[in-house]
Amino acid sequence: MLIAYNNLQQLFHAYQYTRKALQTYRRQMTFFCPQCLEPVHLKIGSYNIPHFAHHTQSQCPKLFAEGESKLHLQGKIQLFEWLQKLGHQVKLEPYLTELSQRPDLLVALETNNVALEFQCSPLTHHKWQERTTGYEKNNIQAIWLFLTPQRYEAINGIRKISISPLLQKSFMTTSTGLPYLMTYNAKTAHFEYWTNLLHVHGHTFIGKVQKIPIDKQRFPFYLPTCISLEEFQQYWQLYKHACQQFANRRLLHSKQGVQDTFLRSCYELNFSIPAMPTYIGIPVKDGTAISLFASEWQTMLLHFSQQLGLEPYELKIHHIQDFLMQSHLEYTGQAVKAVQQYSLILNKIEQDQKRQDICEIVYAQLFAIAAIY
């Protein structure tokens, strides 16, 4: 931890002093944990950031984990001082008695309090949910700011990226409801925005990665805005390439043959696997609610509609429910919306086929996909 009470009952920020001064204070003062009020060690060292640690026998670590990395301590200090420079009322590592929780930072805004958690170590979904729920029950907004994964530190621009399930839980949304992710790189003192997140399959997304130095960021954080059609065309090419790769792999490696619902649907619709129609494999809002690859469920939907003698945009809610259940897909409101979005795009393509490129139609449907600045 970065702070402790001294024997004068004052909060003492160890990182604000030189190591020489801290050696003097360590001889002259006794320090206590702000949470359990038990004595703690002032650890100075020559490599790690000066900080406090409990004695071995203390029970307090059951409530407040120790062994923080240098990057975690460094990042908390950077964020704390940045918020102070912006003029915000911010507390470093405050212990919230009513929650038995200790956020990295607590920011007091005019309308609400914000707990800012800079997460550098692995965290279970249960623990994340438990801590988030604790804040929400006490009218505190929780913002999880994860450490930028090392493999993404050097990347920039539009590309295909893998986002872990936990990071997906920390997605933020624009005013139009579209997701984006923001991480923090304590080594370079940069916020990294992963915007324009277009779900491909599983944990794979196409996104635009951009960096903002901490001295250019504001709080509340900058919100992403819309990308251009020219940028979306790069997305379109990456997405369609991924769809074609999926279809080719399915043809080569499926062991079910005609029992494979996707391949059977392709055969019944007279689709050529090496050259799937351009209207198959289209990204839609809420598409993450359907676990199958877009090319797969959209082909199956067209086959299902053909069997009913209907166009996809003529399907009613009960038809969509039957489709999802027959396809062994979870029936949710979000999944229904995804099917409806695709049906609307198909209808638009049919109406505007001679006047408008499919990419432009899809872009119009996803107009608010996020980009920063």
Q: What are phi and psi for residue 216, nearest 5 degrees? A: -105, -10
pLDDT at residue 369, as a whole number: 61
pLDDT at residue 206, as a whole number: 93
> What pairing do the DSSP bridges indicate for beta strands 190-201 and 204-213?
antiparallel
pLDDT at residue 65, as a whole number: 47
pLDDT at residue 230, as a whole number: 93
pLDDT at residue 63, as a whole number: 46
pLDDT at residue 366, as a whole number: 83
3-class secondary structure per residue, the chain: CCEEEECCCCEEEHHHCCHHHHHHHHHHCCEECCCCCCEEEEECCCCCCCEEEECCCCCHHHCCCCCCCHHHHHHHHHHHHHHHHCCCEEEECCCECCCCECCCEEEECCCCEEEEEEECCCCCHHHHHHHHHHHHHCCEEEEEEEECCHHHCCCCEEEEEECCHHHHHCCEECCCCCEEEEEEECCCCEEEEEEEEEEEECCEEEEEEEEEEHHHCCCCCCCCEECCHHHHHHHHHHHHHHHHHHHHHHHHHCCCHHHCHHHHHHHHHCCCHHHCCCCCCCCCCCHHHCCCCHHHHHHHHHHHHHHHCCCHHHCCHHHHHHHHHHCCCCCCHHHHHHHHHHHHHHHHHHHHCCCCCHHHHHHHHCCCCEECC
How many Å apart are CA 254 and CA 257, to the nearest integer?
Answer: 6
Each of the 373 residues of the chain gets a pLDDT tens digit; together they read: 888 888 888 888 888 888 888 888 888 888 888 877 888 888 887 667 888 888 766 667 544 445 568 888 899 999 999 999 999 999 998 988 888 888 999 999 998 999 999 998 888 888 899 999 999 999 999 999 999 988 877 788 999 999 988 888 888 887 666 789 999 999 999 999 999 888 898 889 999 999 999 999 999 999 888 788 999 999 999 999 999 999 888 888 877 766 789 999 999 999 998 889 999 999 998 888 998 999 999 999 999 999 999 999 999 999 999 999 999 999 999 999 999 999 999 998 888 766 668 888 888 888 656 555 4
pLDDT at residue 105, as a whole number: 96
> Going by C-beta distance under 8 Å and a sequence separation of 6 or more, which residues neighbour residue 111?
none
Instruction: Identify any residues that bridge with 147 across adjacent strands, giving them in sequence order.
Output: 184
